[in-house]
């Protein structure tokens, strides 16, 4: 697997994004003209960095790092259908950490995925990201439905020390609290 900076290969980008379904993204099918318009308006470059994901000398996906100037960027990985489940996503996550932590000195990387995207959750865990939150009704889908989402993150200190630290999710509230107004 290789990661290569996206320059201006708009035709290839349009082909990759519009020839595949993206079942766990807000828009499951993308339109050629909307991708072309977004690229021409700087979507893949202004405040972002975009990379090709290359496997066996073929472009098999893209990685878009959003909020690249922030100390806590977000990102989007899209792999074409016939290479999903082959471990490429884990390698991309490892490369992403080396790049953002090692070269750009970021402090944290955040990622959100739909709660029903089990494959991506496994990818995050294998890629040394930690589940930090479960967000109810937080993902708006193109068809108007709402899904739960999950927050995963990697932090610089874990990457630097080659460890995983777990978040303190249940240290604030009493256990088994279920009635509104019960916590004072």
Query: Looking at residue 45, which CATH number applies to its domain?
Result: 3.40.630.30
What's the pTM value of the predicted model, to 2 decimals?
A: 0.86
Q: Is 16 inside a domain boundary?
A: yes
Separation in Å, CA 153 to CA 32, 113, 173: 32, 11, 23
pLDDT value at 178 more than 60: no
Is 70 among the domain residues?
A: yes
Q: Beginning with the edge strand found earlier in the chain, give each strand of the sheet holding 58-66 in spatial order.
A: 2-5, 48-55, 58-66, 74-79, 108-114, 146-155, 130-140
**Quick check: 29 pLDDT over 90?**
no
**3-class SS of residue 106:** coil
* Tokens 């865990």 sit on residue: 125
Q: And the tokens for 88?
A: 């490429």
Please give the residue range of the domain that contains residue 124: 2-161
- Please say if the pLDDT value at position 58 is more than 80: yes
Contact (CB, 8 A) for 127 and 89: yes
Residue with tokens 């490892």: 94
Q: Specify if 30 maps to a domain.
A: yes
Window from 6-10, 64-68, 107-111, 149-153 with minimum mean pLDDT: 6-10
Q: What is the CA radius of gyration of the chain?
A: 18
Task: Report pLDDT digits (tens) over 118-133.
Answer: 999 999 999 999 999 9
Which pair of tokens denotes residue 14? 């349009």
Residue 7 in this model has a pLDDT that exceeds 60: yes
Q: Which residue has the tokens 């072309």?
A: 36
Domains contained in the chain, number: 1
Question: Residue 184 above 60 pLDDT?
Answer: no
């Amino acid at each position: 697997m290789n990661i290569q900076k996206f320059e201006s290969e708009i035709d290839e980008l349009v082909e990759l994004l519009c020839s595949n379904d993206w079942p766990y993204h807000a828009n499951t099918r993308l339109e050629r003209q909307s991708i072309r318009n977004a690229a021409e308006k700087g979507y893949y470059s202004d405040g972002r960095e975009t990379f090709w994901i290359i496997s066996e000398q073929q472009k098999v996906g893209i990685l878009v790092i959003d909020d690249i100037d922030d100390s806590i960027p977000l990102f989007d990985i899209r792999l074409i259908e016939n290479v999903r489940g082959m471990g490429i996503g884990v390698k991309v996550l490892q490369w992403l950490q080396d790049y953002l932590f090692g070269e750009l000195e970021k402090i944290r990387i955040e990622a959100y995925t739909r709660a029903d995207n089990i494959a991506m959750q496994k990818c995050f865990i294998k890629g040394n990201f930690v589940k930090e939150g479960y967000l109810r009704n937080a993902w708006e889908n193109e068809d108007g439905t709402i899904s739960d989402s999950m927050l995963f993150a990697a932090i610089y200190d874990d990457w630097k020390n080659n460890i995983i630290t777990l978040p303190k999710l249940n240290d604030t509230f009493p256990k088994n609290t279920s009635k509104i107004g019960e916590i004072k």
